[in-house]
Structure 1
Amino acid sequence: MPRFDRRSLIGASASLGLLGACSSLSARAGVLRRDPFTLGVAAGDPTPDGFVIWTRLAPDPLAPAGGMAPGPVPVAWEVAADAGFRDIVQSGEGLALPQAAHSLHVEVSGLAAQRPYWYRFHAGGAVSETGCARTLPAPGAALDQLHIASVGCHDYESGFFTAFAHLAREPMLDAVFHYGDYIYEFGRRAKNPLRVHAGDETVTLDDYRRRYAQYKQDPDLRAAHARAAFICSFDDHEVDDNWAGDWGKDGGATTAFAARKAAALRAWYEHMPVRRALRPGSGSRYFRRFEFGSLLRMHVLDTRSYRSNQLCETRGDDLICEQRDDPVRTMLGAEQEAWLGRGMEQGPGWHFIAQQVLMLPFDVRADGQEAPLKSMDNWNGYTDARRRMAALIAERQLGNVVIGSGDMHQHLVGYLPSDLDDPLSPPLASEFLATSVTSGGSGSPRQAHQLHTLDHNPHVALLNNQRGYQLYRVDAGRWSTDIKVLDQVDRPGGQMSNLATYVVEQGKPGPILL
């Protein structure tokens, strides 16, 4: 005779209860004729007792409203302690509303710390694929090792999302930091794209919703989301290329750009596994913090919403440049700077500043150019803001700061010098900038015009122009970064390899090639 313990009976009862709920939901919602879970599932923003789980109902993803009728649809969800859902620890139901593109964000809590859970959704007689996410360690808990991936910049037209397929197969993965450029706002471009964007350049809410739906259909991206919790930020292409605060790329701080940005950030929220606190509106802010026990404190920054306008911007066919970098210009805004300072007053083994754009000084002059040249869209165009950031680290005498960034479509490894005008001065903090998933195409070890770039940047140890991601392995004494590169993204099946591994020793800023 089979034996049942109390835990098994509770799990079985929960399963039966959920099946009953799903039947009731299906009866109320009507059976959907096509799979509504074409955009997959995702989890994000983990805490020691939970995380957010997400899905969006879209049986016809590129059709208006994703092919959904204009009414609320009940959706059941369940979280289990095992992949087979024999031990269901939580379940419930919610409404996917048309005004939120029939997306659903469930803020799960009450789970055990520092362990994996599996989750799925039910709607209209259909069952979603299964996702997995880990809760964070308990506050102050010891942690032997941590594995975080850094990834971003995936232009649909520039190649296949093979890097995400490899990311989904990483054997050890606690969380994924997505630094931004989840979608690209461009319409069909004159070059020969490998895949074609649906529709013209995104401007309206419906435009952005369709673009996210197109990207999220990709099976490799869906697999990566199902593998681990994502901690998501955004950069420029989620809204408009090189936008800054209230300024758009083309027209400046206009009413039209304000409406476009509002639509873009609403669509971003609808499609990311983030908390309701990040829903656009009065007082919403996107910078936030995650504690991985006593090992690591992760400060996720927003380098777009509060920044001053670039020193140079394009208006029509004209390049408009301000004459000087005024000290009041900011990258983060006063509130966010103060928040970051408070978070770095004391803390764990490591501080991880997770943000979007290159921070260390970098001379981008091409081979053959005489004069130094800097980008205006990253921290090199906000030199006084960067000095305040460097001072924040130096004044606290922190030897445990690592900066994560993206946007450049290249792998870059280097350090923030203690004297920002002298790249040979001692390291203040290491920086690991992760390359793109597809943006820039398959690439090569070095761009043709950058063969001598490192001659002008002695504080930069690596510059690589291939696609991929970075994987951070962190313990109490050492931070290790694996530089993952793909051989090509022009067709499916690209092969991944580990180009190099750099380490940072606790208390000794500056990356060292292992």
Structure 2
Amino acid sequence: MNTLNRRQALRAGSLAAAGGVALAGGVTGALGAPAAFQHGVASGDPLPDGVLLWTRLTPSADAVPGSGRGRQQTVGWEIAHDPEFRRIAARGRVGTGPERDHTVKVDATGLAADTWYYYRFTWRDSVSPVGRTRTAPARGSAVDLLRFGVVSCSDWQAGHFAAYRHLAERGDLDLVIHLGDYLYEYEADPDGVRPHDPPVEMVTLEHYRRRHAQYKTDPALQALHAATPWVVTWDDHESANDSWSGGAENHTEPDEGPWSERQAASQRAYAEWMPVRYEPGGHIYRRLEFGSLVELSMLDLRTYRSQQVSHPFDRGIHDDERTITGRKQLEWLTSGLVTATAQWKLIGNSVMISPAQFPSTLNTREFEALTDLIGPIEGVPYNVDQWDGYTHDRATVLRTLRDHGVSGTVFLTGDIHSGWATELPADPLTYPLTGDSVATELVCTSVTSDNIDDYLRVPPRTLSLVVEAVLKLANPHVKYLDFDSHGFSVLEVTPEAVRMDWFRLADRTDPDSSAEVTASYRVPAGTNKLERVPRSLDGATPRFEAATEAERAEAERQARARQARETAPNTAARRDDAPSNEPAASREAS
């Protein structure tokens, strides 16, 4: 799949597809779509000979999402080699009705490998917007380049989805990978940028359907779905915060009913409303192949996990009976890594697998912000909602990579509203003095969800610089960290390297926000190590990594000073050192 030199040629086509090409009939809604197809179109889970197509039909004014109203209908679909639909590759008809909220999913098969297609749906005299999609390369075929958009944590109430707009406008992406928290379950926030519908916390099937429908009215989200296929997995907010197999932090019984019913409702709505090869009763973890270059394994780290321990000093984090993956999924993951024939093993991973120590040198204000951002760390070193709370499963994965000499494993992660680039040592306690890195992890920041500067109500790249420096000193395997930015990442995969660019939005509340690259790192083939890249895929100099060297050096100096005070004999004399007014930490580079 060669995406080199395609950008200008494809950008116009992708935007035309996203906006709806050659629409016919009906009153138009979002993105110029007829009212019958007001939630847009989408595609996903590409195979060498097929791809999944999605839309939602609104057959009458009362058949709104979640209502259970409206009659059975038949929808036509077609997929073509050209946006004018002169060369049809496949077509058919499919039924839908209130039992699946009038959503439509079609598995279009018999297609050519490594090929761009255009698709649309029809109903009576209405025609949907035109979507653009791509099949995967043939199994085992040589591939010189793949380029993916990587996103997570898109809270409707926290801002607009300008990150999606930027990705849709690129025209050079083969795929978008969404790593979870596609939507949020919370009730309407009176202080939010735009309120949730329904205004209550999602609990019932109607609630989940309505919330999915609301998110899919966003113009930027519709544009990105129409521009390129997606591969998705869920995290917790698609059901409820900090969910596990038997409950969730944000679920109370009996007020909100049995957890099994709420979980089933959330998963059913997800199956209906997302372009994913998943139906209730099956499993969402799956593996997609892209020639000989990439195998992409998407994990489910919520459905089968044991309940989180209450604090990280609980010995339960090391209990081999507790699991974050479930035994079947863990065996599927490890055996797949050992037997993979592709050069790069990418793992869509909804919560961070890298170990993270949170040192006591952080002051109370900073520590509370970290707790809000990444979970219940309770003043001690671990976030027990991540793989840190399930060390047996993590050790099994890392030991498998080490013992079998598996190279080229890269975890792609979301969840924690911050950007990270880390190496994964088989023995974190002795790294980097002894032992090698057996994999790497690249964590994208949030599309809109709150970061540390939002929690602390301080300008970005001020107080967070010292927090980042403190954490990097305590975790030498962490090579890059950004606690402030909202935006997206672009991942480029070649036989020579995997590299990620992190992009920051100027203003998450502005649907027209600009974006700039903040950092670029790559994993050279055969190394399982990270290298900083001085220029991004777009040719820009990463702003935070190059233009603010003085600020980062000063932050590291202050972090070392904190560490020295922490270990000094007269600890009672230590003062809380939060340099929010120090020029070196508060200056934004130009």
TM range (shorter): 0.7 to 0.9
Name the % identity: 34
1:65 deviates by: 3.7
The answer to whether the 8 Å contact 1:45/1:273 transfers is: yes
AA partner of residue 345 (structure 1)? V
Match of 1:343 in 2: 336
Aligned to 2:149, the other structure's residue is in SS state strand
Does residue 1:376 correspond to 2:374, yes or no?
Answer: no
For 1:461, which of 479, 484, 488 is the aligned residue? 479
Q: 1:455 to 1:77 in 2, by over 3 A?
A: same
Aligned Cα root-mean-square deviation (Å): 2.5
1:348 deviates by: 1.2
The answer to whether the 8 Å contact 1:136/1:293 transfers is: yes
AA partner of residue 412 (structure 2)? G
Match of 1:202 in 2: 202
Q: 1:304 to 1:455 in 2, by over 3 A?
A: same
1:325-357 Cα shifts (integer Å, max 9, x gaps): 212111111111111122112311111111101
1:491 deviates by: 1.8
Moved more, 145-154 or 247-256: 247-256
Which structure 2 residues correspond to residues 70-149 of structure 1 after superposition, within 5 A? 70-149=70-149
Q: 1:458 to 1:239 in 2, by over 3 A?
A: same
AA partner of residue 330 (structure 1)? T
1:57 deviates by: 1.5
1:463 deviates by: 1.2
The answer to whether the 8 Å contact 2:34/2:128 transfers is: no
Task: Count the aligned residue pairs.
Answer: 474
Q: Distance in 1 between matches of 2:462 and 2:61?
A: 38
The answer to whether the 8 Å contact 2:147/2:174 transfers is: yes
1:34 deviates by: 6.5
Match of 1:414 in 2: 422
Match of 2:525 in 1: 506
Give the structure with the larger strand fraction: 1
The answer to whether the 8 Å contact 1:183/1:237 transfers is: yes
Match of 1:30 in 2: none
Give the structure with the larger helix fraction: 2
The answer to whether the 8 Å contact 1:61/1:67 transfers is: no
Q: 1:420 to 1:205 in 2, by over 3 A?
A: same
AA partner of residue 225 (structure 2)? H
Match of 2:287 in 1: 289
1:81 deviates by: 0.4
Q: Distance in 2 between matches of 1:339 and 1:253?
A: 33
Moved more, 320-329 or 297-306: 320-329
Aligned to 1:345, the other structure's residue is in SS state helix
Which structure 2 residues correspond to residues 206-221 of structure 1 after superposition, within 5 A? 206-221=206-221
Aligned to 1:53, the other structure's residue is in SS state strand
1:409-446 Cα shifts (integer Å, max 9, x gaps): 11111111121323425321110011111001685346
Q: 1:161 to 1:210 in 2, by over 3 A?
A: same
Which structure 2 residues correspond to residues 442-461 of structure 1 after superposition, within 5 A? 444-445=460-461, 448=464, 450-451=467-468, 452-461=470-479
Moved more, 213-222 or 393-402: 393-402
The answer to whether the 8 Å contact 1:157/1:197 transfers is: yes
1:83 deviates by: 1.7
Q: Distance in 2 between matches of 1:279 and 1:355?
A: 20
For 1:432, which of 430, 435, 442 is the aligned residue? 442
Moved more, 423-432 or 148-157: 423-432
The answer to whether the 8 Å contact 2:62/2:70 transfers is: no
Q: Distance in 1 between matches of 2:274 and 2:290?
A: 21
1:124 deviates by: 3.2
Q: Distance in 2 between matches of 1:235 and 1:509?
A: 26
Moved more, 350-359 or 417-426: 417-426
Q: Distance in 2 between matches of 1:189 and 1:101?
A: 26
AA partner of residue 478 (structure 2)? V
Which structure 2 residues correspond to residues 44-59 of structure 1 after superposition, within 5 A? 44-58=44-58
1:364-420 Cα shifts (integer Å, max 9, x gaps): 347237975211111111112111111111111112111101000111111111213
For 2:501, which of 482, 500, 506 is the aligned residue? 482
Q: 1:436 to 1:251 in 2, by over 3 A?
A: closer
1:248 deviates by: 2.1
1:169 deviates by: 1.3
In structure 1, list runs of 5 or more residues that go unmatched.
1-21, 27-32, 314-319
In structure 2, list runs of 5 or more residues that go unmatched.
1-23, 27-32, 368-378, 455-459, 534-590
Moved more, 60-69 or 297-306: 60-69
AA partner of residue 260 (structure 2)? A
Which structure 2 residues correspond to residues 12-27 of structure 1 after superposition, within 5 A? none
For 1:403, which of 380, 403, 411 is the aligned residue? 411
AA partner of residue 523 (structure 2)? V
The answer to whether the 8 Å contact 2:234/2:300 transfers is: yes
Q: Distance in 2 between matches of 1:501 and 1:61?
A: 48
Match of 1:305 in 2: 303
